[in-house]
């Protein structure tokens, strides 16, 4: 069984072909997918989509790049989380890549949503870009020891620190890129702390690089993990399935 723990089926890119995309994933053995929200609207869309299909779940929350645009009343998260398909809070985190002018506000929203996740006893899906140390510091101080660092591409040292906190690393298409050092990182970290994800429609793995990514491409990612770790792909799939269950209870 293959699992995509992070995809945006709620993105515009899938507006007209959602059913085909899910059917294509199912036909390639992908039986579980988590649709990730990044603001209020996309979180509601994620839950609506999750309720359309078996094996599709939702994470809800506000992405750091969206905090300026959103109303700061987050009561909707508590309401929406009552839906049984909601299994995580995310994606939340820090992104200093595009604009550094509101880092403090991002940190504030990150902490606020971690606190909600703790109250609701849900894991968090973390987005961290150009904010490695701050992100780690916030999680270490406020985190609830359940979560995934989505699309991990940071250093091996930082990866080890996250693992010590009980966090998982979300491994996506980047692992298939020629210039990526992620292979070395996962060799050192080992299969026990990894989950698989596409981040569709972004970051398609080789040989689809540059195209619209979709959950059906998770196979290329898991195959690459298996090659890097030199572990049989069936065993990798099984272990990732166990890790996903431990983290998300799905
Ligand atoms: Ni994402």
Helices and strands of the chain, counted as H and E runs: 9, 8
CA of 205 to the centre of ligand 1 (A): 15
Residue 159 main-chain phi, psi, to 5 deg: -60, -45
Going along the chain from its start, the domains and CATH numbers come out as: 2-248 (3.20.20.140)
Helix/strand/coil for 163: helix
User: Could you tell me the pTM of the whole model?
Assistant: 0.97
- Looking at the chain, the whole-number percentage of residues with pLDDT higher than 70 is 100
Neighbours of 82 (CB within 10 A): 8
Percent of the chain with pLDDT over 90: 98
Reported as type and span, the H/E element at residue 149 is strand 147-149
- In angstroms, the CA 45 to CA 123 distance is 20
Residue 56 in tokens:
């599709």
Tell me how far the alpha carbon of residue 218 lies from the centroid of ligand 1, in angstroms.
14
Can you name the residues that pair with 86 across neighbouring β-strands? Answer: 58
Q: Is 134 exposed, middle or buried (0-12, 13-18, 19+ CB in 10 A)?
A: middle
Q: 243 C-alpha vs ligand 1 centroid, how far in Å?
A: 19
Token pair for residue 134? 């701050």
Whether the CB-CB separation of 248 and 87 falls below 8 Å is answered with yes
Digit-coded pLDDT (tens) for 97-130: 999 999 999 999 999 999 999 999 999 999 999 9
- The predicted-structure confidence for 157-210, as pLDDT tens digits, reads as follows 999 999 999 999 999 999 999 999 999 999 999 999 999 999 999 999 999 999
Contact 62, 74 (CB under 8 A): yes
CA 38 – ligand 1 centroid, Å = 8
**Residue ranges near ligand 1 (ion) with Cβ within 5 Å:** 199
82 alpha carbon – ligand 1 mean position (Å): 22
150 alpha carbon to ligand 1 midpoint, in Å?
A: 7
Whole-number Å distance, alpha carbon 199 to ligand 1 midpoint, is: 5
């Amino acid at each position: 069984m293959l699992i995509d723990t992070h995809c945006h089926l709620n993105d515009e890119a899938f507006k007209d072909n959602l059913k085909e995309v899910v059917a294509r994933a199912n036909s390639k053995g992908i039986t579980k997918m988590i649709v990730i929200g990044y603001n209020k609207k996309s979180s509601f869309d994620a839950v609506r989509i999750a309720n359309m299909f078996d094996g599709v779940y939702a994470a809800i929350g506000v992405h750091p790049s969206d905090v300026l645009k959103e109303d700061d009343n987050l009561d909707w998260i508590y309401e929406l989380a009552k839906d049984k398909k909601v299994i995580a809070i995310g994606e939340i985190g820090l992104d200093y890549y595009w604009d550094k002018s509101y880092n403090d506000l991002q940190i504030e929203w990150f902490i606020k949503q971690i606190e909600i996740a703790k109250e609701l006893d849900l894991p968090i899906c973390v987005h961290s870009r150009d904010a490695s140390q701050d992100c780690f510091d916030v999680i270490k101080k406020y985190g609830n020891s359940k979560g995934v660092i989505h699309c991990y591409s940071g250093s091996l040292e930082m990866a080890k620190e996250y693992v010590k906190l009980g966090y998982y690393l979300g491994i996506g298409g980047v692992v298939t890129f020629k210039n990526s050092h992620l292979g070395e990182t996962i060799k050192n970290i080992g299969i026990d702390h990894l989950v698989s994800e596409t981040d569709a429609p972004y970051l398609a793995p080789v040989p689809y690089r540059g195209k619209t990514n979709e959950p059906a491409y998770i196979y290329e990612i898991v195959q690459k993990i298996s090659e890097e770790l030199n572990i049989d792909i069936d065993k990798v799939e099984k272990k990732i399935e166990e890790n996903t269950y431990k983290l998300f209870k799905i």
